Chain A
Amino acid sequence: MLPVAAYLALSAVLFTMGVVGVLVRRNALIVFISIELMLNSVNLAFIAFARQHLGIDGQVIVFFVLVVAAVEVVVGLALIVEIFRSRSTVDIDDVDLLRG
């Protein structure tokens, strides 16, 4: 069986990919997927620790995260659809109504 460090390393790689995706990509959908990536990388870390400590707390939290992520997808996608309808773009740099 692989040591827990390997899972954590994978989790860190996935999380960093998510962060970079959020920071460098301008397409709202890609940014959205990157956020999902970060959430799931955290899920992986939780599962790994739960396995390590033989507890179920981590697994329970993963369920919560999944639920929150599902809700977030619903709201987020709805927002993106609305933005596209009103502005014909999903480039988040074009959405800057709050610029000071």
Chain B
Amino acid sequence: MSFVPLILVWPLLGWLVNGLAGRRLSRTVSGLVACAAVGASFATAALALAAYVQASAAQAASAAEGASQTALSVIVPLFTWLGAGDLWVQASLQVDALSLTMALVVSGVGFLIHVYSIGYMAHDPNVSRYFAYLNLFIFAMLLLVMAGNLLVLFVGWELVGVCSYLLIGFWFARPAAAAAGRKAFVVNRIGDAAFLLGLFLLFTALGTLDISEIRHRVGELPDGLRLAAALLLFAGATGKSAQLPLHVWLPDAMEGPTPVSALIHAATMVTAGVFLVARLDTLFLSSPAALVVIATIGALTAFYAATVALRQHDLKRVLAYSTISQLGYMFVAMGAIAPAIGIFHLVTHAFFKALLFLSAGSVMHAMHDVIDVRRLGGLARTVRWTAAGFIIGGLALAGIPPFAGFFSKDLILEHAFALGMASGNYIPYALGLLTAFVTAVYITRAVALTFFGVPAEAGAHPHESPPVMLWPMALLAVLSVAGGALGAHAAGEPLLRFLAPLLGAVEVEGAAAPHPPAAILMGISVAVAFAGVLTGWIVHRNRRDPSLGAMGTLLEQRWYVDALYDRSIVAPGHATGRWMAGPVDLGVIDAAVNGVGRLFAALGAASRRLQTGYARQYALSVLIGAVLIVGYWILR
């Protein structure tokens, strides 16, 4: 397993090459270097998977006689990062089922998106900078998912945040893009502060930040402390994964190039919060109150974002709210004590949402950056492959069998129902089901408005994207169809079985998990999905787009959450800033400094009159002084 660090080294090298020598490379070479780096990373990760499976089987064989079988977790130590007193941070990589799954998704989907980027960014003058950032992001994300220590994980966590900021603001000359990058960074900072506090708490209580040690020792913590740590870390996750109430940055992040939206703001980075919960599963799953919070926030976010997506006109924003909503589903799975299912949905979502975004990018490419669905229409006739890609992704998102999204979403709903049976809390299930319906409606609307009916603008001459963009989409389409097999009953649930030794152990612990009527629930899910698609099609066919009256306005305004933030936080913040810059800085601080200067200038001007230049006057001064001193001595 000693070759595992290479997974991280490739993208780092790619970043160095493109970052340092990018200006001297041709755009083709730049793209090839970046793609090769991520491709090599994917290949290495696949080799690591093979080695891990082999080692795992060997362990299982030798432990066959033994009583308990624990998940194999290989720690690859790199170096001692810092050692001071009690704090001893070992930079290490952790190789287990979860980190390998994540690494494969990140590098695999990342590779496809890198290839797509060659076509999408073909006319941008700063291609090498783009690919340098993209490679750095892949490195940071892999560091995050493979870290064996929470502090190292935090470094990856912050690095992906920086890359996200850099790539959202890639076209920084556009004020909207610069502002969106800033917003993403600031909102994430709120979550990150909570994350850091959680780390401090864990370190104070346990004296270690080593992930596997924390996983095994959470039982030592008192209940309240465990809850506090779980909630703080979850607050960090809500920032990165755009959950209520810190979701506002993700829709704005669509200002970045579309492949970036696909890679960072749909498939990988935003799932870091879900990953964090799965990584520290024992901590979260052993504090029931935290689970209730997670499931509730997830369900509310899923429902909220899905409804907002109903009335967005920017195709990428529809997908952005859809991402927020699907991340909500993943958190519902975590809250329903089914982390493996959440990771399953993470994987299928990475496939079909990346496909949807790349298709949307292809639409932009075809229509010269027009992305407002009100100005599109009828594209299925002109850009067939793109339309096919988007529709496949849409069906997967809507949860139509046998597409990938169906399997994972159905399992989540099943576990949410089981949660209801166990605790009487059916809210996550009800909201989840409702969201499934709304999801089907909004994605059908997006498809109907974009690809069917009569084109809104007759003058446009859409052209299909080049093969370098279509091939990654085709592969993602295949994955969006076949990805469900990773967790389907019929296919033997390979992914779930792979994760089970690591993440399943706790699941059994949850007292006598009730068995929900899976077949009936599946029937309900399918019916709801079809009903949603049908409703969406009936309402929006022929590119009709009823405004839904007052409710439509409410949704279009995103339930006024953004307006509320603007009024209550952003505007006062700006006002405070202006007040600080004006009255305080100019009026108090500058005035104090200038006042001191002016005071001494005035003193100098007054005292220079003493220097008359007449020697006789000086002599008189001396005389007066002498007389005074002598007089003092005499009269004393």
Contacts and interface: CB of A to CB of B under 8 A. Distances in A.
Contacts of B607: 100
B623 A96 contact: no
B520 interface: no
A23 interface: yes
A26 B608 CA distance: 23
Given A92-B616, A93-B616, A100 B611 contact: yes
Contacts of A61: none
Pick the most buried of A92, A99, A100: most chain B CB atoms within 10 A of its CB.
Answer: A100
B491 interface: no
Contact of B613 (A22, A23, A26, A98): A98
Interface string B595-636: 000000000000111111111100110010000000000000
A19 interface: yes
B616 A96 contact: no
Contact of B619 (A22, A96, A98, A100): A22
A95 B607 CA distance: 20
B616 A23 contact: yes
Interface in A34-82: none
Interface string B242-277: 000000000000000000000000000000000000
A100 B612 contact: yes
Interface string A1-35: 00000000000000000010011101000010000
A97 B615 CA distance: 11
Q: Which secondary structure dominates where chain A touches chain B?
A: loop
Secondary structure call for the B interface: helix
Interface of B: 607-616, 619-620, 623
B619 A97 contact: no
Contacts of A98: 611, 613
Given A99-B612, A100-B609, 20 more contacts: A19-B623, A22-B619, A23-B619, A23-B620, A23-B623, A31-B616, A92-B615, A92-B616, A93-B615, A93-B616, A95-B615, A96-B612, A96-B613, A96-B614, A97-B613, A98-B611, A98-B613, A100-B607, A100-B610, A100-B613
Contacts of A100: 607-613
A96 B611 CA distance: 9
Contacts of A22: 616, 619
A83 to B, nearest CB: 11
Interface of A: 19, 22-24, 26, 31, 92-93, 95-100
A78 to B, nearest CB: 17
Contacts of B612: 96, 99-100
A95 B612 CA distance: 11
A99 B611 contact: yes
7 contacts: A19-B623, A24-B616, A95-B615, A96-B613, A100-B608, A100-B609, A100-B613
Contacts of B610: 100
A26 B623 contact: no
A22 B616 CA distance: 7
A16 to B, nearest CB: 11
Max chain B CB contacts within 10 Å: which of A26, A31, A99?
Answer: A99
Nearest to B605: A100
Nearest to A93: B614
A45 to B, nearest CB: 14
A37 to B, nearest CB: 14
Contacts of B619: 22-23
B624 to A, nearest CB: 11
B19 to A, nearest CB: 62
Contacts of B620: 23
B616 A26 contact: yes
A23 B620 CA distance: 7
A24 B616 CA distance: 8
Given A19-B623, A23-B623, A99 B616 contact: no
A50 B608 CA distance: 46
Contacts of B623: 19, 23
Nearest to B612: A99
Nearest to A98: B613
A97 to B, nearest CB: 7
A98 B608 CA distance: 10
A87 to B, nearest CB: 13
